[in-house]
Amino acid sequence: MTNFRLRSFSWSVRVSIALLMLVCAGGLAASWMHIWMHHGNRDEVPGVSYEDIAGAYHGVKITAPLLRAMDRGHPENLPSPEREALRKWLEGKRVTEDYDNADLGDMAPSEIIARSCLECHSRAKASTQPVAAKIPLDYFDDVRKLAVSREIKPMEKRILVMTTHTHALAMTPLTALVAGLMLLTCWPRRVSGGLMVVASLGLALDVASWWLAREWLPAVWIVVVGGGMYSGAMAVMVVGVMVDVLRPGRVLPLPAA
């Protein structure tokens, strides 16, 4: 038996392998983009956050940022009647309707915010108050994003079953293929083997934690860590194979031990 290396093949074969790895790299990039687009707005805040991932696999309730600020005692000098009026508004189901409700008079949320919040949260103060540029409260569109509590429900079990079926059966042979090609490169065997272990372990943790997270919220972090391990190791192996097969020159097959 002869132990071949990828660089012992002809240029036509090596270029073909490089093109396949290029397609694989595009697939990995598309999967990252899918995560960003599919999960990135579950909490109605741009970007992928812990709440987005936790909501998808476990379900979470997100308390309105303004309500969390009030729980911390902010603003400190807000009179008790106004604090209670704002709390009632934020905990109710008429956030939009009652924001500037004329029937509430001076206790309407818009009036309270104008009196007690715009001193620090007005765009006009952005040059002197950094928090004003980061969290403006001049208009209802600004306030609404911070005033609504949300509940993100996890994906339905039938969808999770379909996702598991698709990913497990597709990603296992893909991982085996890329790892096998990596083992046939001229990179040190301990590097190739280590990356293979990281990718395999990451994939196992990722898929298993989808189900574990439905009942145990901390498992959401396993989803993040496992997915990161898998995608990172796969990306390194894909690049490693491409670099190896495109390096000039050929190597002779290694004799069997």
* pLDDT at residue 231 greater than cutoff 70: yes
Q: Which residue type does 26 have? A: G
- pLDDT tens digits for 142-175? 888 888 878 778 888 898 999 999 999 999 999 9
- Most confident range (mean pLDDT) of 8-12, 100-104, 220-224 is 220-224
Highest-scoring range by mean pLDDT, 105-114, 216-225, 233-242 = 233-242
Largest CA distance in the chain: 89
Structure confidence at residue 255 (pLDDT)? 56
Q: Where are the alpha helices (DSSP H) in the chain?
A: 11-39, 50-57, 65-71, 80-91, 109-116, 118-121, 130-134, 140-147, 157-183, 189-215, 219-246
| Least confident segment among 47-61, 104-118, 217-231 | 47-61
Dihedral of alpha carbons 58, 59, 65, 70, sign = negative
Q: Please state the rounded mean pLDDT for residues 197-223.
A: 94
Average pLDDT on 56-72 reads 84
Question: Looking at the predicted structure, is the pLDDT value of residue 227 above 50?
Answer: yes
- Residue 2 confidence (pLDDT) above 70: no
Cα(240)–Cα(236) distance, rounded to whole angstroms?
6
Q: For residue 80, what are the contacts with CB-CB under 8 A and spacing of at least 6?
A: none
Rounded CA-CA distance 239/188 in Å is: 15
pLDDT(223) > 70:
yes
How much of the chain, in percent, has pLDDT values that exceed 90? 39
Domain ranges of the chain: 2-59+155-255, 64-148
Residue 169, pLDDT score:
93
What is the mean pLDDT of the segment spanning 194-222?
A: 94
pLDDT in tens, 88-115: 998 888 888 988 888 888 898 888 898 8
Q: What's residue 1's pLDDT?
A: 35
Mean pLDDT in the chain? 86
User: How much is the pLDDT for 252?
Assistant: 58
- Who wins on pLDDT, 34 or 174? 174
